[in-house]
Structure 1
């Protein structure tokens, strides 16, 4: 069934993303803008076998400046979904409990192809369209936090500082520091503040 998955990627997934301005590296796709990138990863299940293959589509928003600020290692030379923020899987975008597309000898391959094509065209690409500027990305993180869906608390601090909202960055890092109980995390926040030119009170 691995050949069938490769066929779907080659015949359906890769052409669709290419038509919409994405570049490809292995099973990863990225549409690159000046300050960020839309990222996609085709993930295979670790439980796959010769007779049954499951895969899904993961999406995210990648910002190299954010990655460099939060990590101590060099980023990949291709924007990767695994190194992104606002990561979300296709089934979450569809509000579906079905996490995986399934391929087996009993599968109608054409039906899977049609479903994948439909999901990319009608779900993934329209979802990405809400992120056209870095301000949209920041707003997306803020909205997610307001809903109680928290990512790394430092993402917004870093983005505020990088993109000219110093006062908001300063307030936020102090708020995060005040709420943090773990000693090692507090040390990291102080180190991050120093790197960003912020002060922790």
Structure 2
């Protein structure tokens, strides 16, 4: 019963909503492919579901062929969420939306649909600001985050933006430099800088 409500929500609400915005359905994934990037939503059912409680997560992902090439990986036409270069739960982007939705016999489905669709809309607006592999790199370097660190340095140095690469390195050093694991990252990053002939300042 509740499982059917979930299926109907995907089919009757989510699919038409995302189709209008250029997304095509494949299983519980929805994809929108542009020249530079693939945007996706993944509806992940919780492993703890029961007859009276169906829970699901909405995962958001952006895949960049340019970053896949830097990683020497096969270029994918329909990547899984785990293969995307940008990954987040819907609640990390649309802060008024929960990370996990729950359908129980008491759930007001009109409220759930409204919240879910408004969250998807908000994520699509965010996706509109991410237009290239460089957008993804800028997002993670502004953190600064270690995620995509090696790929980010390759992309920045390939495009002769040594200033941005150095700025990112300094920010990472300040944030993570006192951690024991930092030397592992530092050695990897130094090798990348050396590859492009750019001076590398160690801590």
Residue 124 (str. 1) matches residue 123 (str. 2):
yes
TM-score normalised by L of structure 2: 0.74
Shift of 1:19: 0.8
Whether the 8 Å contact between 1:21 and 1:31 is mirrored in structure 2 is yes
Looking at structure 2, the residues matched to 106 and 170 of structure 1 have their Cα atoms a distance apart, in angstroms, of 52
Q: Report how far residue 102 of structure 1 moved.
A: 0.6
Q: How far off is 1:199 after superposition?
A: 6.0
- Partner Cα distance (2:115, 2:18) in 1: 15
With structure 1 as the length reference, what TM-score do the two structures score? 0.75
SS at match of 1:105: coil
In structure 1, list runs of 5 or more residues that go unmatched: none
Name the CA shift for 1:57/1:128 in 2 (closer, same or farther; >3 Å): same
Report the aligned-residue RMSD: 3.3
Match of 1:165 among 160, 165, 173: 160
Q: Distance in 2 between matches of 1:43 and 1:69?
A: 29
Match of 2:90 in 1: 90
SS at 2:79 equivalent: coil
Structure ranking higher on relative contact order (CA contacts 8 Å, 6+ apart): 1
- The answer to whether structure 1 residue 154 and structure 2 residue 156 are counterparts is no
Aligned length: 190
* Contact 1:170-1:198 at 8 Å conserved across structures: no
